Each structure stands twice: as C-alpha cells, then as structure tokens.
C-alpha cells in the first residue's frame, strides 16, 4: 500500500509529467549536487568564496521579482468565507483553471519532492508540509527557511497529516501565474512564479494563509509577527511579538542591537516574520517561530540598520536580484553611501549610476537564522516561549505617538484591526497615502477578516493573563518633516518602557487612545532629545484622532455583519473619549 504522500506525488507526476522525480533528504551532498547543477545552468552565480563562502547569487526573471497579490486567491466553497479583503475563486473553478497550466509543465524536467517541517523538529506545535517543485532554487531556499528532508519524512511516517503544495515555474508569464489556496482541504497550488512568497510555499502560503485557517479551527494563532526577547540586567528575558506593515523595519527590530547594552538590556531574536502562538496548559500564550531562516529585503540593510544580519550574511546565503561587485561580492543600495565602481546590476549588465538601481528594490537574502549573533538560545524550544506583549505599529508621519498602551485585550484587538501605514515608495502608488493593514495580515489572512477579528477577541477570553497590547510609531515627523525619534538601537528604550509597564514599574498618562509614557518614565540617559521633541513625540491630538476614528468607521463598513460588535463598540467608545477630551480642553 502506498502512503498518502506517495499517492499525491504519483498523482502530481501524472499531471506534470516530469522526466525524473527526486525525493529531497536535506543532506549536505544533496545541496552540493543542486548547487553544482545551478552553477552549470546559470541559475546561480558564484560569489567570492573567500569572503562569502557558500554564498550564491540568483537572478530571477525580471517579470518575477515580488509577490503578486492580484494573482493570489483564497478558494473557499462560499465567497463570504474568503471575505472582502481576499481574491476569491470557487475551488472547482480554480482547479479547472490551473490544471491545464500544470499539465505537462515538468516535461523534460526534474520534479523535486520537498518534505519540510514548519517549526522546531521536536515541537508539538510544528506542522509538516510537502512541496513539489521543478525549481532547484526553491529546494535550496526551502532548505534554509524550513527543517527540510529526512527529519520531516521521519516525523510524517505514513500519516496523511501534511499540507501538500504543488509548485511549478510554468512559463513565468504573469498571464498564467496563480497562487491559489484551498483552506478547506489544506492544499496549495502555485504556478508561474519562482519568487519568494509565491514559490517557497512553507512561508506565506502555509505558515500564514493555510495556518491562519487551521488556527481558528483549533484555537491558536498564526500571525505575521516577529518575536524578540528583551533581557534585563538581572538576566531575565521577557518576550514580545510584533506586527508591522511592510517598510517599517520589522527584521531590523527583531535583530536590534540595544543602545542600552551597557545597562544590561539586550535584545534576542526568536523570529523575524511569523509567530505561531498557542495557549499552554497554564493559560499563557506561547509562541514558536515556524521558520528556520530569514528571507529579508536587502536594500537599506547595512551595519547601522541591522549589524547582526550583516554579520550573518557572509556564509551559506542565497542572494536574489542584488548587484555584484567586480570582486564577486553582493551589493545593494543603502549598503554603503557610495556605490563601488564596476558594479554589475541585478539583470547581469554593467551598471552606471543614474536612473536605475543596481540591485532590485525587492532584492533578498536567504540566510539560516542560527547564523545571526542575536539568535536566542531558546529560539527552538519545543514548547515555545511565553509572550508578555503584543506590539502593533505603523508608519504615521503626524498622527500616532511614539508608543501607547491599549486599555485591555479588546481595545488592543481594535488597535491591531485599525493599524495603518502611510506609503513611502512611489513605486507602490502615491506617497503619503494611508493604507489599512489589520495586524499586518491583509495579504495573508486565509479567511474572512471579520471572522479573524472575532477569533482574536475569542482568544483573549481564553487567556488567563492576556499579553499587554502596545502600538508604536518610529516614524513621527516634526513640522519640517524631520524624524522626531532616532529609531534603530534606541528603540530599546520603548521596549524597556513596555517591560516596565508589564512589571508595574513605569508611569503612564491616560489619553483617549490609550496610555502614553510620562516624560520621566522613559529611560533617556545617553540620548540627546529635547523636552519639546519628547512632548511632540508623545502628544495625542484629539482633532487628528477624530479624523482617524471616522476613517476607521468607514473602513469597518467593508466587513458588514461579519464585523464583531465589540469592535464597533470600541470605535464608538473612542469617539466618545475624543469628544469628551476636546470638550474638556475648550
């Protein structure tokens, strides 16, 4: 009798018709064979093996450089179950549409079967996926980003408890590119893209979209969150999970070098992108990082913005769409102030300074998490680590204070559900446009977001001592457009305030939106920041927030009757507190 996995692999081979099937074991010799193959066929360019041992450059097809949200679908039987924020196709329609694209797609090619574990191999919270792909780059990337090969097959045995993901490069034509999810049968089909979140199916497709559905079914949470530990001078570590929209420096925060290191405050990394959180037997919330590597944006990364990852990147790293120096080293905008002479751009052509960037703005590194000097000694604890705080954030030039604390769990869910960021890159539309991105899950929630908010509320009721919920904004500007807060390593001062709030040591001032630090409750020694600047950073303007509250009311209408009443109540309560405070100040 064949196993459920063998049956699915046979079925997939009948459809895609590969000339060869390779079962990946995740071993070193296997990785060497694949590397050799990719160097020979041009998939890989070898980097300088003296300064970057084990590192390679991959140049993707220029039309395949980012996730494609418009081509990403949630395929539930009922459209309402995908909700107003997802693209939807009926499951049978999706299969009828994609089956011809997979039909014979692997003719003359090798099919790789990649068994993998999301989460530490020994964790009861980990889950198994199997990706079938015709891309050796995907195999090499999955080897870094997950626990791949023998370890996964051994854990699976003859069980059917795995999430199958069928992937083929197809012809890389965006017209024939689809990333479709069947959460009701826990299945992923992806065709026509070899890039990151479209093709490494363990990450966004499984660990967020499919897992968020599983999490609601079984009372846990699959979130788009970094996990860090803040060590205090006594050596005690307090763990926090944080969700930010893109371009807020999530990876930088996860791997931050503390500006209060001399005082004994250090930051340890558990993960930079995804948190799976469960309620433990004692009623605490415990998180694991389902991933084993970092798939980070390279441009803007340097010794100041993220010194830890810069150290990690010197071995066993795959670089995608970065530029190449004449000594065979990777380079990107924002690595140093002046580009070195003799650069080759991400297309593989000689680059001259001017209109185009040398590296693609979404160029990436794929690096094993264990290589970061900041990695926590607990990052693979099977039972996970206890979460004491949840942090939401966004990029708001004027509105949001540096930090505020929500009133309670329900209010914290409101804060997360109404998160927003103002756009920066002209490439993604107008600059300064406010984009709502609830819990940073907008492109990643595998079901109706109204139901997702309801699930968040329900989780709070099940937690014995729910984590405190904070909101941060590193990006507030003064009237001249200058950033008010130095950010980066100095952000540890904000994390320390949160820790002191958790421990009941720090003061706070109540405002209509929540509690902000009093000027003296923030540890600011060694930082030159004026009292005026601090006041501006922490101020809450009722008129601005009334405008925000009205935008939130409008945003909530999208969800119709799927919006939990509690969130509507929170919005009304905020409106009332705001009008009371502006009355009092008149």
Active site residues: 248
Select from ligand TSX, Mn ion, none the partner in contact with residue 486, using the beta carbon and a kind-dependent cut-off of 5 to 8 Å: ligand TSX
Report the chain's terminal Cα–Cα distance, integer Å.
Answer: 79
Measure the CA–CA gap between 206 and 273, rounded to whole angstroms: 13
Spatial contact of 18 and 166, defined as CB atoms under 8 Å apart:
no
Q: Which stretch binds ligand TSX (CB under 6 A): 133-141, 200-208, 245-253, 351-359?
A: 245-253
Select from Mn ion, ligand TSX, none the partner in contact with residue 273, using the beta carbon and a kind-dependent cut-off of 5 to 8 Å: Mn ion
Residue 407 or 493: the one with the smaller Cβ distance to ligand TSX is 493
| Consecutive H or E run containing 470 | strand 468-472
Exactly one of 491, 515, 523, 571 binds ligand TSX (CB under 6 A); that residue is 491
Q: CA-CA distances (angstroms) from residue 7 to 14, 152, 160, 166, 455? A: 11, 17, 10, 13, 35
**Any contact of residue 273 with Mn ion (CB under 5 A)?**
yes
**Any contact of residue 253 with ligand TSX (CB under 6 A)?**
yes
**Any contact of residue 366 with ligand TSX (CB under 6 A)?**
no
Q: Which residues contact 152 (CB under 8 A, 6 or more apart)?
A: 26, 115, 116, 117, 128, 130, 146
111: helix, strand or coil? strand
Q: Which residues contact 424 (CB under 8 A, 6 or more apart)?
A: 247, 395, 431
- List phi, psi (to 5°) of 176: -120, 35
Instruction: Write out the binding residues for ligand TSX, residues 389-418 only, by CB under 6 A.
Output: none
**Any contact of residue 301 with ligand TSX (CB under 6 A)?**
no
Instruction: Write out the binding residues for ligand TSX, residues 467-486 only, by CB under 6 A.
Output: 474-475, 483, 486
Q: Which residues contact 378 (CB under 8 A, 6 or more apart)?
A: 229, 237, 268, 270, 385
Tell me the closest approach of the beta carbon of residue 230 to ligand TSX, in angstroms: 13
Tell me the closest approach of the beta carbon of residue 296 to Mn ion, in angstroms: 9
Select from Mn ion, ligand TSX, none the partner in contact with residue 252, using the beta carbon and a kind-dependent cut-off of 5 to 8 Å: ligand TSX
Measure the CA–CA gap between 515 and 412, rounded to whole angstroms: 12
Dihedral sign from CA coordinates of 121, 29, 312, 65 = negative
Residue 134 or 273: the one with the smaller Cβ distance to Mn ion is 273
Select from ligand TSX, Mn ion, none the partner in contact with residue 220, using the beta carbon and a kind-dependent cut-off of 5 to 8 Å: none
Tell me the closest approach of the beta carbon of residue 251 to Mn ion, in angstroms: 9
**Any contact of residue 134 with Mn ion (CB under 5 A)?**
no
**Any contact of residue 488 with ligand TSX (CB under 6 A)?**
yes
Tell me the closest approach of the beta carbon of residue 491 to ligand TSX, in angstroms: 5
Select from ligand TSX, Mn ion, none the partner in contact with residue 495, using the beta carbon and a kind-dependent cut-off of 5 to 8 Å: none
Residue 71 or 255: the one with the smaller Cβ distance to ligand TSX is 255
Tell me the closest approach of the beta carbon of residue 60 to ligand TSX, in angstroms: 21
Residue 64 or 490: the one with the smaller Cβ distance to ligand TSX is 490
Task: Give bridge partners of residue 129 from the DSSP assignment.
Answer: 116, 163
Q: What residue spans of 17-135 are helical by DSSP H?
A: 28-41, 91-102
Tell me the closest approach of the beta carbon of residue 424 to ligand TSX, in angstroms: 8
Residue least distant from ligand TSX (Cβ): 249
- List phi, psi (to 5°) of 513: -95, -10
Residue 115 or 394: the one with the smaller Cβ distance to Mn ion is 394
Instruction: Write out the binding residues for ligand TSX, residues 281-300 only, by CB under 6 A.
Output: 300
Residue 452 or 474: the one with the smaller Cβ distance to ligand TSX is 474
Exactly one of 35, 86, 212, 252 binds ligand TSX (CB under 6 A); that residue is 252
Residue 300 or 443: the one with the smaller Cβ distance to ligand TSX is 300
**Any contact of residue 527 with ligand TSX (CB under 6 A)?**
no
Dihedral sign from CA coordinates of 431, 435, 440, 445 = negative
Measure the CA–CA gap between 449 and 431, rounded to whole angstroms: 26
Measure the CA–CA gap between 1 and 423, rounded to whole angstroms: 55
Tell me the closest approach of the beta carbon of residue 472 to ligand TSX, in angstroms: 9
Q: Which residues contact 253 (CB under 8 A, 6 or more apart)?
A: 226, 228, 242, 244, 491
Contacts 24+ apart (CB under 8 A), 307-310: 307/257, 308/255, 308/256, 308/257, 308/269, 308/372, 308/373, 308/374, 309/251, 309/255, 309/365, 309/367, 309/372
Tell me the closest approach of the beta carbon of residue 444 to Mn ion, in angstroms: 8
Dihedral sign from CA coordinates of 6, 7, 10, 12 = negative
Binding pattern for the stretch 175-214 against Mn ion, x by CB under 5 A and - elsewhere: ----------------------------------------
Q: Footprint of Mn ion on this chain (CB under 5 A)?
A: 273
Q: Footprint of ligand TSX on this chain (CB under 6 A)?
A: 247, 249, 252-253, 256, 300, 305, 474-475, 483, 486-488, 491
């Amino acid at each position: 009798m064949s196993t459920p996995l063998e049956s699915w692999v046979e079925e997939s081979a009948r459809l895609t018709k590969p000339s060869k099937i390779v079962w990946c074991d995740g071993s070193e010799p296997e990785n060497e064979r694949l590397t050799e193959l990719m160097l020979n066929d041009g998939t890989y360019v070898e980097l300088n093996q003296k300064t970057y041992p084990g590192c390679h450059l991959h140049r993707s097809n220029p039309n395949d450089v980012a996730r494609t949200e418009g081509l990403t679908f949630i395929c539930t039987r009922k459209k309402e179950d995908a909700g107003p924020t997802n693209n939807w196709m009926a499951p049978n329609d999706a299969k009828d549409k994609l089956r011809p694209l997979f039909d014979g797609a692997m003719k003359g090619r090798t099919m790789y079967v990649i068994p993998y574990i999301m989460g530490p191999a020994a964790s009861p919270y980990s889950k198994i996926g199997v990706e079938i792909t015709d891309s050796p780059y995907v195999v090499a990337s999955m080897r870094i980003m997950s626990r791949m090969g023998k370890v996964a097959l051994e854990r699976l045995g003859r069980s059917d408890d795995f999430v199958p993901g069928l992937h083929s490069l197809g012809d890389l034509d965006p017209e024939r590119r689809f990333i479709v999810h069947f959460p009701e049968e826990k299945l992923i089909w992806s065709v026509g893209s070899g890039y990151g979140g479209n093709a490494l199916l363990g990450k966004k497709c499984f660990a967020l979209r499919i897992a968020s559905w599983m999490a609601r079914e079984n009372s846990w949470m699959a979130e788009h969150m970094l996990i860090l530990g803040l060590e205090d001078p006594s050596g005690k570590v307090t763990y926090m999970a944080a969700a930010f929209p893109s371009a807020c420096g999530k990876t930088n925060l996860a791997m931050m070098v503390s500006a209060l290191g001399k005082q004994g405050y250090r930051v340890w990394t558990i993960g930079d992108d995804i948190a799976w959180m469960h309620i433990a037997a004692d009623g605490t919330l415990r998180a694991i990082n389902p991933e084993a590597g970092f798939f980070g944006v390279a441009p803007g990364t340097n010794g100041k913005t993220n010194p830890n990852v810069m150290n990690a990147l010197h071995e066993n790293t795959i670089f995608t769409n970065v530029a190449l120096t004449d000594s065979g080293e990777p380079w990107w905008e924002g690595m140093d102030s002046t580009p070195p002479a003799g650069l080759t751009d991400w297309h593989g052509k000689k680059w001259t300074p001017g209109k185009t960037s040398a590296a693609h703005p979404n160029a990436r590194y794929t690096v094993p998490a264990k290589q970061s000097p900041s990695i926590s000694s607990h990052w693979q604890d099977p039972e996970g680590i206890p979460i004491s705080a949840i942090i939401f954030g966004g990029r708001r030039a004027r509105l949001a204070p540096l930090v505020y604390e929500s009133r309670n769990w329900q209010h914290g869910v409101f804060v997360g559900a109404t998160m927003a960021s103002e756009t920066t890159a002209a490439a993604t539309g107008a600059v300064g446009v406010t984009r709502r991105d609830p819990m940073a899950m907008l492109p990643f929630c595998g079901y109706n977001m109204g139901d997702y908010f309801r699930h968040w509320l329900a989780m709070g009721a099940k937690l014995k001592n729910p984590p405190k919920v904070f909101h941060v904004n590193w990006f507030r500007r003064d009237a001249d457009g200058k950033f008010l807060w130095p950010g980066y390593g100095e952000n540890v001062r904000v994390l320390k305030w949160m820790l002191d709030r958790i421990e009941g040591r720090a003061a706070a001032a109540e405002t209509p939106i929540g509690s902000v630090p009093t000027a003296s409750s923030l540890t600011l020694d060694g930082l030159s920041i004026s009292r005026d600047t601090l006041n501006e950073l922490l101020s809450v303007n009722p008129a601005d927030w009334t405008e925000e509250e009205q935008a939130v009311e409008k945003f909530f209408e999208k969800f119709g009757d799927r919006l939990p009443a509690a969130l509507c109540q929170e919005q009304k309560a905020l409106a009332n507190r705001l009008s009371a405070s502006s009355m009092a100040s008149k």
